Structure 1
Amino acid sequence: MPLLPGAEPFRHEGGRVGVLVCHGFTGSPQSVRPWAEYLAARGLTVSLPLLPGHGTRWQDLQVTTWQDWYAEVDRELRALTARCDQVFVCGLSMGGALSLRLAARHGDAISGLVVVNPANKVHDAAAPLLPVLRHLVRTTRGLTSDICQANAMETGYDRVPLHAAHSVRQFFRLVDAELPQVTQPLLVMTSPQDHVVPPADSERIMSRVSSKDLRQKLLERSYHVATLDHDAEQIFEDTYDFIARLAPAVKGEGTTTSGGA
């Protein structure tokens, strides 16, 4: 099945500090690729996988579950930890939830986390009905391109299969229960105007993690897909500064303009 434009995974071999970047539900690497490329250009080793069922057509997402999505990022994390001295994890929306579960499960193997508008709950009023509704209705409207900046578009699905929506709801509940196991330094970036994931999800996450080094940055000029919005450059800079503070070796990696696919 051909990939949507920009949905290709991205990998860059850099220095001994690695970063795993996770995209969101029904989206693709396109939504966070500028984030990954910014870090790669500064000498970090970067992995941005395509989650199973994403980046093609919504019918492919319908037959996948959270176990498939999590297995993919878990595999990429293990590859990075084998290659690098320190590894950080970044994620947008559901990618933030994936990042938090990786942190809860892998402990000291992860040196820090950066999450942008992390999702913690399915807020649709029909969510409690999903166990039954998914057998009666195949899809609902899509979630992509909640972006303030004119002419910016997110590559993703215009429909959400309800089987997958049911699975992501189960996943969010699992992650919420595991949040106290997250102890790593954590930077949470939150858009006050987000039409997909309310800021309450960020507040819930910050109230439940056990991280002592916990910081929040508000993205006042951006909607949900802030990595493609007005605050994108600030997100990228703050992420690099966060990593450099915790892994001083990155300052010696130098800057490169080469990339990978």
Structure 2
Amino acid sequence: MPVLPGAEPYRHEGGEVGVLLCHGFTGSPQSLRPWAEFLAERGLTVSLPLLPGHGTRWQDMQVTNWQDWYAEVDRELRSLVARCRHVFVFGLSMGGALALRLAARHGDAIKGITLVNPANKVHGLAAHALPVVRHLVPTTRGVANDIAKEGATELGYDRVPLHAAYALRQFLRVVDADLPQVTQPLLLLHSPQDHVVPPADSARVLSRVSSTDVREILLEQSYHVATLDHDAGRIFEESYAFIGRLAPSAVEKGSTAGG
């Protein structure tokens, strides 16, 4: 199936600081494209892949699993590590969970991670029924487009494939078990008003990681897809400052080259 217009992956060759951005469940690179372009304009090397089964139609996602999604970001990370002196991983929602697993698995190869409304658990009573219900009902209503800003739209599926939802549930359990292995500096931004991922998920992440350099920021004006919402600019600026603090000389070189 052809990729939906706007859902294409994005890459930019810049300086010696590389940033991998991971989009969310049933979403696409479109939700992080402004963030990626912001970083690219400042001379950074940027990779924003399209996860398997995403960005086309929900039927394509039905035949993928979390190992497919993780393998894609793992390949992109390894490519960035081979080319860049410092590598950071950023993620939204399930992309935040992907970032956390990468951090747990790759250790010092990752300089720092930035998470926006990271997912930690599939919530609701229906989650417990997924092992059975997924064989009886193909989809449920979508979770895309939870944005407070008028006129802003997320390019994502309007249905959630239940086989994929079950895979997500399995993946988030794996990630939760890995959290104590996360030691990198962490910037976590989350929305108190989030209709997809509750603030409890961010609290759980913060309580279980082993990182000692941790900063938490509340996004008071935004819903779940905060990267397209009123607080988007703050996310971009805070994440760039986070990189600048941890790799100051490299960012200065990249900014000069980018300017």
**Which bin holds the TM-score, normalised by the shorter protein?**
over 0.9
- 1:132 and 1:11 map into 2 onto residues whose CA distance is 39
Taking the TM superposition and a 5 Å limit, the aligned residue runs for 1:1-261 are 1-248=1-248, 249-254=250-255
Is the Cα contact below 8 Å between 2:94 and 2:118 reproduced in 1? yes
> Size of the alignment, in residue pairs?
258
Q: How far off its partner does 1:255 sit?
A: 5.4
Deviations 1:120-167 (A, max 9, x none): 000122001100110010000000000000010000100001000000
- 1:177 and 1:107 map into 2 onto residues whose CA distance is 16
Q: How far off its partner does 1:253 sit?
A: 1.4
Say which SS state the counterpart of residue 87 (structure 1) adopts.
strand
Is the Cα contact below 8 Å between 2:14 and 2:258 reproduced in 1? no
Is the Cα contact below 8 Å between 1:41 and 1:256 reproduced in 2? no
Q: How far off its partner does 1:257 sit?
A: 6.6
Of all paired residues, the percent bearing the same amino acid is 75
- 1:136 and 1:206 map into 2 onto residues whose CA distance is 36
- 1:193 and 1:112 map into 2 onto residues whose CA distance is 26
Is the Cα contact below 8 Å between 1:179 and 1:210 reproduced in 2? yes
After superposition, the Cα gap between the structure-2 partners of 1:220 and 1:255, relative to the gap in structure 1 and judged at 3 Å, is farther
- 1:124 and 1:227 map into 2 onto residues whose CA distance is 25
Deviations 1:89-116 (A, max 9, x none): 0000000000000000000000000000
TM-score of the pair, normalised by structure 1: 0.97
- 1:257 and 1:222 map into 2 onto residues whose CA distance is 30
Is the Cα contact below 8 Å between 1:5 and 1:155 reproduced in 2? no
Q: How far off its partner does 1:4 sit?
A: 1.4
Structure 1 runs of 4+ aligned residues shifted over 4 Å read 255-258
Deviations 1:49-69 (A, max 9, x none): 000000000000000000000
Say which SS state the counterpart of residue 39 (structure 2) adopts.
helix
Say which SS state the counterpart of residue 254 (structure 1) adopts.
helix
- 2:184 and 2:255 map into 1 onto residues whose CA distance is 26
Deviations 1:1-53 (A, max 9, x none): 12112100000000001000000000000000101110010000000000000
- 1:137 and 1:90 map into 2 onto residues whose CA distance is 33
Tell me the amino acid that sits aligned with residue 61 of structure 1.
M
Is the Cα contact below 8 Å between 1:130 and 1:166 reproduced in 2? yes
Identify unmatched segments of 5+ residues in structure 1. none
Say which SS state the counterpart of residue 253 (structure 1) adopts.
helix
Say which SS state the counterpart of residue 95 (structure 2) adopts.
helix
Q: CA RMSD in A?
A: 1.0
Is the Cα contact below 8 Å between 2:52 and 2:64 reproduced in 1? yes
Tell me the amino acid that sits aligned with residue 205 of structure 2.
I
Identify unmatched segments of 5+ residues in structure 2. none
Is the Cα contact below 8 Å between 2:121 and 2:201 reproduced in 1? yes
- 1:257 and 1:165 map into 2 onto residues whose CA distance is 40
- 2:96 and 2:31 map into 1 onto residues whose CA distance is 13
Tell me the amino acid that sits aligned with residue 33 of structure 2.
R
Say which SS state the counterpart of residue 52 (structure 1) adopts.
coil
